Amino acid sequence: MERAKKECILNAAARAFAKVGFRKASVDDIARDAGVAKGTIYLACESKEDLFYQSVQRDVRAWVAKVASCIDPRKPADELLGDVATAAFAYLHQHTLVRDLLTGIYYGQLPGWTERFEDLRSIGRNNVVEILRLGIRQGRFRADLDVETTALLLEDLQLAGMLQETRLGGGQPDVLKRRMTAGLQLVLDGLRVRPGA
């Protein structure tokens, strides 16, 4: 299958899954939106589930690439964490398919896919792991830091922020920014090398 046609199908699938969820999205509607025959969809994927996974995986990789563009190893790692958190939050606000994956909405719809979803979530942590390791090399973060666990914790904190945004209806960006800044400061206080240590 030609790359452009597959991208068109994945774009249509991502729109459908983001709009109505996995269960309600129909392959017929996705094919119609992509401007292809229903059979063509199955040339791009094995099943509706595979189409969903490919759509989410593509969006996760785009998210990671967008966030990675913020990483400048010449900057202090603690500043980079703030930059990356802001960029990630903005991206996820606009890309509900990835946000819903990270917040666990699809786990109940596809219970057998927990491991695949966790693999996708781990891709999203790669940038944070890189920054934490950079911070250790820069001497800004503690050398004894458990990088993988800390990255997971930071991801969990970001997810809590996204859930809070959903609860507030997305209408209070100043409140969310203050909470994100305060949360990041608490985390950074634990990550940073203490003077005299």
Nearest Cα to 151, choosing from 164, 136, 163? 136
Task: Provide the residue type at 47 as one letter.
Answer: S
- Its pTM stands at 0.78
pLDDT at residue 40 in the model: 93
Query: Do 22 and 106 touch, CB atoms closer than 8 A?
Result: yes
Domain segments of the chain: what residues?
Answer: 1-45, 48-191
What top-level class would CATH report for the domain 1-45?
mainly alpha
Structure tokens at 133: 């390791």
Positions in the chain whose pLDDT score sits under 70 = 164-177, 196-197
Extract the runs of DSSP E, i.e. beta strands, from 28-72.
Answer: none
pLDDT at residue 139 in the model: 94
Q: Give bridge partners of residue 67 from the DSSP assignment.
A: none
Superfamily the domain 48-191 falls into? Tetracycline Repressor, domain 2 (1.10.357.10)
Total number of residues shown for the chain = 197
Query: What gap in Å lies between CA 178 and CA 189, rounded to an integer?
Result: 16
Nearest Cα to 184, choosing from 102, 96, 50, 81? 81
Query: What gap in Å lies between CA 30 and CA 13, rounded to an integer?
Result: 6
pLDDT, one tens digit per residue, over 55-106 is: 989 988 998 898 899 899 999 998 998 888 888 877 877 888 888 877 777 7
Query: What gap in Å lies between CA 68 and CA 50, rounded to an integer?
Result: 26
Query: What gap in Å lies between CA 144 and CA 135, rounded to an integer?
Result: 12
Sign of the CA dihedral running 78, 83, 86, 89 = negative
pLDDT at residue 102 in the model: 77
Query: What gap in Å lies between CA 168 and CA 54, rounded to an integer?
Result: 31
pLDDT at residue 182 in the model: 77
pLDDT at residue 115 in the model: 85
What spatial distance separates the first Cα and last Cα of the chain, rounded to whole Å? 58
